[in-house]
Amino acid sequence: MLDPSVSASLILDFANTLDVEERTDVFSTVEGMAGWLETHELGDTAETAFADLLTLRAGLRARLLLDNDGQANPAEIAAAEAVLARAPLTVRIGGDPEPADPLRAEGAVAKIAAAWAMTVASGDWRRLKQCPDHECGWVFWDATRSRTRRWCSMRVCGNRAKVRAYTSRHRTDA
Ligand SMILES: [Zn+2]
């Protein structure tokens, strides 16, 4: 089994600050976001970066859902890319990409952008998927060799989808 890299783990945690099933959002308040950023050593820019981080999260989640045959709004991806354009990175010969603007060196947006760049470059992003169940929306790491896992958990969401398919078939029969 393949484990997610440090960068992919950060993206996973970031995306799952929104829990659709539990109807909770760590980022529903500046304080919640600040606490999360502190836990992940991403600086203390919650107040200034609040809107940008929400836009970035929405765009990443949309991308991870589209890539898993789900339906998402491409405008959310475009908006997130506009946020990323304001957080340029410097590519280093001897290390990971870093936030380019020293004034934003502590900026959480730039650090998450760096993690995403690493995740895309390593190919790990193809294993990051958002569960297409509307009531779930959980972002998970697909550790299967074939990279074909679609649901966050066969036990819950996969079965829910099967039951729905069965029920609609049954209705059609009756
Ligand atoms: Zn799910």
Q: How far is the CA of 171 from the centre of ligand 1 (A)?
A: 25
Q: How far is the CA of 92 from the centre of ligand 1 (A)?
A: 38
Tokens of 144: 């299967």
Tokens of 83: 């946020």
Tokens of 3: 């484990």
What pTM does this model have?
A: 0.89
Mean pLDDT of 113-138: 94
> For 4-46, what is each residue's pLDDT tens digit?
999 999 999 999 999 999 999 999 999 999 999 999 999 888 9
The answer to whether residue 133 sits within a structural domain is yes
CATH number, domain containing residue 62: 1.10.3300
Q: How far is the CA of 150 from the centre of ligand 1 (A)?
A: 9
Q: How far is the CA of 46 from the centre of ligand 1 (A)?
A: 29
Query: Any idea which of 21-25, 115-119, 158-162 has the lowest mean pLDDT?
Result: 158-162
Q: How many separate domains does the chain show?
A: 1
The answer to whether residue 47 sits within a structural domain is yes
The answer to whether residue 26 sits within a structural domain is yes
The answer to whether residue 1 sits within a structural domain is no
The answer to whether residue 78 sits within a structural domain is yes
User: Which domain, by its residues, includes 82?
Assistant: 6-173
DSSP letters for the chain: -PPPPHHHHHHHHHHTTEETTTTEEGGGSHHHHHHHHHHTT--S-HHHHHHHHHHHHHHHHHHHHHTTT----HHHHHHHHHHHHTS-EE--SSS--EES-GGGTT-HHHHHHHHHHHHHHHTGGGGEEE---TTT--EEE---TT----SS-IIIIIHHHHHHHHHHHHHHH-
